[in-house]
Structure 1
């Protein structure tokens, strides 16, 4: 697994060289920030929601990101149509189950999407992922409340759902086929700006679009985003979340392989015990 350490810094360059087209069906709160974050990183965003066109868009895109933050019945239909088209085209599909467990409708919608669409990666906080997998957890609104062992939840959820899982929190966890990576990069200021998790899901889509090894691409995305957040905070720590949000976009545009290699905090477990 040492080759993962060597490959992590390289994936950001692949994103910028390929400029992957990321089709987002996301929520109204974060659309602008998500698009600008992808552009800053070097990817190409498209926000298409109408059921009449989502299949065509998902077919030509390099990744499809589904985010249920502001959930409507129409959006669920569009997500399923797009997801099925993506599956036929072998386009990776990233699902962000925002607020799963907060209401029955949210949880049922996620289960419906996962039943009808083959998901490449499920990304959420510990409570969201636990609720999707049927592991007891508590959610208030769209935020995680309980403090869980993210490692164990990621392993169990990935096993139960038969899908790679990323859980984000104080320490991020990637679980793929019983293998784990633990990422220590990031900053708590990310929790003070709405949409940072949603942007991360889109960035995961960009990284997966250029690197098919889900463990590697997901870990590289988490590390790159986390380091950008750390650097953004250092420059704006006397200012506050508004300045941090703008500087995060700047840092996503500037971060390079040398930054990732210098600052990454990654632990890899070849065979995690379940």
Structure 2
């Protein structure tokens, strides 16, 4: 079933994030830590890269929301990720699972399935990752997808229904589903795939929007819409991927309701 997203809700959620500055705990890829923190600051949230055992679970109970990104899961961080996911689940705090390179690599694949036991509020990945996580694919080429977003819709519906999660599939058109309704967002620019953290930081922004306590499908879709619209704004000032990365952070900090209303491509 396809539903519709009210663009006014996207604008309201963005303003709520900026007004409340949710504290987002990030257990994430070491390659993208700085970019992710800057993206959260630009959108109006407060980042905290608390990812060591013993502290991670304690902090997940304090944080407004938590991101668990499997980009570079060293042994100590894997323990912390389980602690944080468990604590977030037990405390009822929203948390996002980004199953980077799941299916293609064995350690993170096993870890992802263990983390699913703690029912992530949202799962965000590319089509190959979502298919592999659902057990119907072998993953992509490292962090890169080899499948189209639409090809992973059945997998996303299955994951959403099985784990009571919102599932977001990145692609030329992003798909977001709660297991029944499906939203499609066609904003964005290919430069997001050419900068380190372009996908990973969206998981953190999704966590920030979920922290607002609104409908989870709406919040996840709103995060995607704001993020991808900002990419379209940034490319106007970019000469290539390098300048795009800087312009993108500026765009996240300045994107406003009027721009969202005029640019949103949501079906």
Q: Same fold (TM over 0.5)?
A: yes
Distance 2:207 2:48 in 1: 12
Asked if 2 retains the 8 angstrom alpha-carbon contact of 1:232 and 1:251, the reply is yes
Distance (whole Å) between structure 2 residues aligned to residue 170 and residue 2 of structure 1: 18
What are structure 2's unaligned runs of at least 5 residues?
none
Paired residues of 1:11 and 1:220 also in contact (CA < 8 A): yes
Alignment RMSD (CA, Å) = 1.5
Q: Match of 1:270?
A: none
Post-superposition, which runs of at least 4 consecutive aligned residues in structure 1 deviate over 6 A? none
The equivalent position to 1:175 in structure 2, one of 174, 177, 182, is: 177
Q: Is the 8 A contact 1:38 1:44 kept in 2?
A: yes
Partner of 1:271: none
- Match among 99, 102, 106 for residue 100 of structure 1: 102
Q: Does 1:258 align with 2:258?
A: yes
Residues 100, 129 of structure 2: 8 Å contact kept: yes
Moved more, 43-52 or 137-146: 137-146
13, 25, 28: which is aligned to 1:26? Answer: 28
Indicate the residue corresponding to 1:272 in structure 2.
none
1:226 aligns with 228
Q: Once the 2 structures are TM-superposed, how far is the Cα of residue 56 of structure 1 from its aligned partner?
A: 1.8
Task: State whether residues 139 and 145 of structure 1, in contact with CA within 8 Å, keep that contact through their aligned partners in structure 2.
Answer: yes
**How many residues are aligned here?**
264
Secondary structure of the structure 1 residue equivalent to 2:211: helix
- For 2:27 and 2:10, locate their aligned partners in 1 and report how far apart those are by CA, in whole Å: 27
Q: How many angstroms does 1:7 deviate by?
A: 1.3
Alignment match, 2:55:
53
Residue of structure 1 in register with 2:66 after alignment: 64
1:153 deviation in Å?
3.6
Give the corresponding residue for 2:135.
134
Give how far 1:171 is off.
0.5
Q: Unaligned 5+ residue runs, structure 1?
A: 268-274
Instruction: Name 1:145's counterpart in structure 2.
Output: 146
**Separation in 2 of the partners of 1:212 and 1:77?**
30
Per the alignment, in what secondary structure is the counterpart of residue 173 of structure 1?
A: strand
Assess if the C-alpha contact under 8 Å between 2:13 and 2:219 holds in 1.
yes
2 CA distance for matches of 1:214 and 1:19? Answer: 18
Given that residues 76 and 113 in structure 1 are in contact (C-alpha distance below 8 angstroms), is that contact kept between their aligned partners in structure 2?
A: no
Question: Aligned with 2:66: secondary structure?
Answer: strand
Distance in 1 (alpha carbons) for counterparts of 2:32 and 2:14: 23
Residue in 1 that maps onto 2:7: 5
Distance 1:3 1:145 in 2: 28
Task: Name the SS for the 2:104 alignment partner.
Answer: coil
Residue 220 (structure 1) shift: 0.7
- 1:241-252 superposed matches below 5 A: 241-252=241-252
Q: Deviations over 1:2-54 (max 9, x none)?
A: 67333122110000011000000001100000000000110000001111211
1:96 and 1:48 mapped to 2: Cα distance? 17
Match of 1:203 in 2: 205
Is 2:173–2:184's contact at 8 Å kept on the other side of the alignment? yes
Counterpart in the other structure of 1:217: 219
The superposition leaves residues 122-161 of structure 1 with CA deviations (integer Å, 9 ceiling, x where unpaired) of: 1000000110001125411121123352434422332344
Aligned position for 1:77: 79
Q: Distance in 1 between matches of 2:164 and 2:90?
A: 19
- Separation in structure 1 between the aligned mates of residue 7 and residue 123 of structure 2, nearest angstrom: 23
